Amino acid sequence: MPLPRLGVAIVTMGNRPREVDALLASVAKQDVPPDRVVIVGNGSPLPEFPGVPGELTVIELDDNLGCPGGRNVALRRLREFGDVDVVIELDDDGLLVDEDVFRGVRDLFASDPHLGIIGFRIADEHGETQRRHVPRLRAKDPMRRGLVTAFLGGGHAFSMKMLAETGDWPADFFFTHEETDLAWRALDAGWKVLYEPKLLLQHPKTSPARHAVYFRMTARNRVWLARRRLPLPLVPVYLGVWTLLTLVRTRSLGGLRAWAGGFAEGLRTSCGERRPMRWRTVWRMTRLGRPPLV
């Protein structure tokens, strides 16, 4: 069986030129070079990128389509080339510290035809992984490898065959919960999601609430997610659990107001195509340690 061919997709708004240069240098140092590298300027012009391995394609978009929308542009271009089996997507402020990350990705996909998604471990420059970056409920040990029900948006790899079956990113989400929507579709189609902590992406420690739209889009997209992907009896349960968690965790009155506005927006606006997961997928996720309720 031939080894899978690798592509890399990076989306940037053009405001992190030094970080992108460092990321591309770490891509160039990989002992298994990618066959294609696509960089998308999400509503911004981009400079030249010398020294990038493989075939480099730069795409400049007139408008910011959000992270999932920008990544879909990169995926479409990789699909047009027709010579990429696995795409590795990396945040523009991430860094590949180790030189064998792509080799690990390639070998894992080569060894399991049912593997759809690999999630990387994300850690800061001190080696610390934030709790929210461990894709399981019991998040104390970021080095615990295994099959999971979610993955990290900052560093991951997809089977292109899986994407052809499940579809790409939900572009309308723009920001937050797009990973969950894609992971649930993959699981419902029978694909595996693997968290592999040996594959490290170094990333600065951040809070998602730094974005002004965080509370509104978090609420709106969670409602959309439930309406799109959950069996009807689970929709109110899922949203009720997350409403309680939000009330307990959120310390900002302004944040709660924005969240309530987003929740109402999620109820009154179109969520896109409704394709609820099967009950056997609910049971599979429960056995993996995270039922689609929290």
Q: Report pLDDT digits (tens) over 4-23.
A: 999 999 999 999 999 999 99
Can you tell me the distance from the alpha carbon of 37 to that of 26, in angstroms, rounded to the nearest whole number?
13
Q: Is the pLDDT of residue 124 over 80?
A: yes
- Backbone angles phi and psi of 79, in degrees to 5: -65, -35
Q: Are 223 and 267 within 8 A, CB to CB? A: yes
Has residue 71 been placed in a domain? yes
50 and 182 in a single domain? The answer is yes
Q: Write the CATH number for 78.
A: 3.90.550.60
Has residue 293 been placed in a domain? no
Has residue 100 been placed in a domain? yes
Can you tell me the distance from the alpha carbon of 276 to that of 216, in angstroms, rounded to the nearest whole number?
24
Has residue 218 been placed in a domain? yes
What total number of domains does the chain contain? 2
pLDDT for 212 equals: 59
Q: Report pLDDT digits (tens) over 170-215.
A: 999 999 999 999 999 999 999 999 999 999 999 998 766 655 589 9
Has residue 292 been placed in a domain? no
Residue where a domain stops, chosen among 181, 206, 231: 206
136 and 247 in a single domain? The answer is no
Mean of pLDDT over the chain: 94
Residue 258's domain spans which residues?
A: 211-287
176 and 230 in a single domain? The answer is no
10 and 112 in a single domain? The answer is yes
Mean pLDDT on 23-32 = 96
Q: Is the pLDDT of residue 277 over 90?
A: yes
